[in-house]
Structure 1
Amino acid sequence: MTGDRRMSLTAELVALCFRDEQDLGPDPHRPLLSDAEFEAVAERIFHESKQQPLWIFAYGSLIWKPDFDAVESRRAIAQGWHRSFCLRLNRWRGTPEQPGLMMALDRGGSCAGMAYRLPDNDRLGQIRRLLRREIGSREGVKAIRWITVETDQGYVRALVFWAGPKGEHVSLKLPLATVARVLARACGHIGSCAEYLYLTVLHLEQYGIRDRNLWQLQELVACEIRSIHRLSS
């Protein structure tokens, strides 16, 4: 752990945020990639990575729920980027009545996360798995980037998803208090936003990484949940 302080946001508080929500299917306001478009993106990334090892930079759920087979992992820092709950969702971890927020990388600052090296064999298959998980719509393709991250064994070029997103579903620079109110209330068919935050902070702590904003955010979300359910501190 990175410090003696325990998380304020606990599994018990997170459980209070769960609701049994219906799977609403794809968002009609976010055009899906066609099979041909999906394959074109996968092939492009494959060819861009052919001359060197394929690294993935994970800063959120890819750390605690990876959908790839890594052969090596390193702690890594991405300079010029920071975590931001800026992607508005009315599916998955939110609903049209109670939209949620998910993380992306926004410009500025630095972000400590994990770099994972994928196997050289079946590289295209690994890329397809990642794309199916991370990018289903056309708007997400523009937020796939190659960035340079620093590890204790030197710099590596890494693929990252949802870096610098733009569009009508993006809300940048939201105050932490506003984000906390959303995360404490939003839930969709795959789980709550509070759960997403909890698992991210928990696993970052296990790797010895403490994101100052996320740490403050989990404290605010814990307070919000306690207030909603009228629980004492």
Structure 2
Amino acid sequence: MSQLRITRETLLDGTMRARQREYAKTHPDMRWRSDAEMAELFEKILVDHPAGQDLWVFGYGSLIWNPAFDYEESSCALLRGWHRRFCLKMHIGRGTPETPGLMLALDKGGACRGVAFRIEAEKIRQELGLVWQREMYGGAYNARWVGLEAAGRRLRAVTFVINPTHPRYIRELSVEQTAALIATGHGDLGSCREYFDNTVAHLQGLGVKDAALMRIAASLPSA
């Protein structure tokens, strides 16, 4: 497959959704979510959101450095009860069956610092819809409401946590095993190393030093 980038344009024009359908034909473990299933899950999230109010989305991985949706405000935020972990094996996107990679997800326990993005009320359906298309298509993530602490404020946000029943969810992986997959994983969205380096660099730019990511970085070969 040709190289692809996740951008606002490739989400809006259907390029990403078409590629996701191509993935589904050869990767049955994606647990492909149809348009109807995606829409049903979307409405289940929004039914708990007050009409006319802005909505926050919490990003902890590539959303931090490549949100690809419009937002009015962003803020460094702390999520308690979930931690960032490379726990999803990738055979698509930033991996293939021959060069599998890893992707971050939120797993239960601990805490995580990331970025909260505020979407204006009148733009929620379109902008959250773009994030939805990106995160929810393959069944690896579940959307849920969480509480955040951000600059002295308490926020309620939508985020995407690991689906522990997904066949590519990895419960245990050593630092060395994680680093090895990140070092070699590569697919049509690029390399896992690029994903890792961008995430670490942007977290550091926010003043966030993730100890787990630093342990992995120490085990990676020099770029």
**TM-score (ref. length: structure 1):** 0.80
Rounded Cα–Cα distance in structure 2 between residues aligned with 1:166 and 1:194: 26
Segment of structure 1 superposing worse, 83-92 or 153-162: 153-162
After TM superposition, list the pairs within 5 Å mapping 1:44-59 onto structure 2: 44-51=44-51, 52-59=53-60
After TM superposition, list the pairs within 5 Å mapping 1:158-177 onto structure 2: 158-163=157-162, 165-177=164-176
Segment of structure 1 superposing worse, 81-90 or 166-175: 166-175
Q: Deviations over 1:98-131 (max 9, x none)?
A: 2111000111111111111111112111221111
SS state of the match for residue 97, structure 1? coil
Conservation of the 8 A alpha-carbon contact between 1:60 and 1:200: yes
Conservation of the 8 A alpha-carbon contact between 2:77 and 2:114: yes
Count of paired positions: 203
Higher relative contact order (CA 8 A, sep 6+): 1
SS state of the match for residue 194, structure 1? helix
What's the CA shift for 1:43?
2.1
Conservation of the 8 A alpha-carbon contact between 2:144 and 2:158: yes
What's the CA shift for 1:47?
2.2
Structure 1 unaligned blocks of 5 or more: 1-19, 226-233
Rounded Cα–Cα distance in structure 2 between residues aligned with 1:69 and 1:214: 28
What's the CA shift for 1:63?
0.5
SS state of the match for residue 222, structure 1? coil
Structure 2 unaligned blocks of 5 or more: 5-18
Q: Does 1:41 align with 2:7?
A: no
Residue in structure 1 matching 2:23, options 22, 25, 32:
25
The percent identity for this pair of structures is 36
Conservation of the 8 A alpha-carbon contact between 2:61 and 2:104: yes
Max Rg structure: 1
Rounded Cα–Cα distance in structure 1 between residues aligned with 2:137 and 2:87: 18
Q: Counterpart amino acid of 1:30?
A: M
Q: Counterpart amino acid of 1:214?
A: L
- 1:153 alignment counterpart: 152
Conservation of the 8 A alpha-carbon contact between 1:42 and 1:124: no
Conservation of the 8 A alpha-carbon contact between 2:29 and 2:167: no
Q: Counterpart amino acid of 1:190?
A: L
RMSD: 2.0
Rounded Cα–Cα distance in structure 1 between residues aligned with 2:140 and 2:103: 13
Rounded Cα–Cα distance in structure 1 between residues aligned with 2:72 and 2:204: 22
- 2:68 alignment counterpart: 67
Segment of structure 1 superposing worse, 25-34 or 166-175: 25-34
Structure 1 ranges of 4+ moved more than 4 A? 20-24
Conservation of the 8 A alpha-carbon contact between 1:68 and 1:126: yes
SS state of the match for residue 166, structure 2? coil
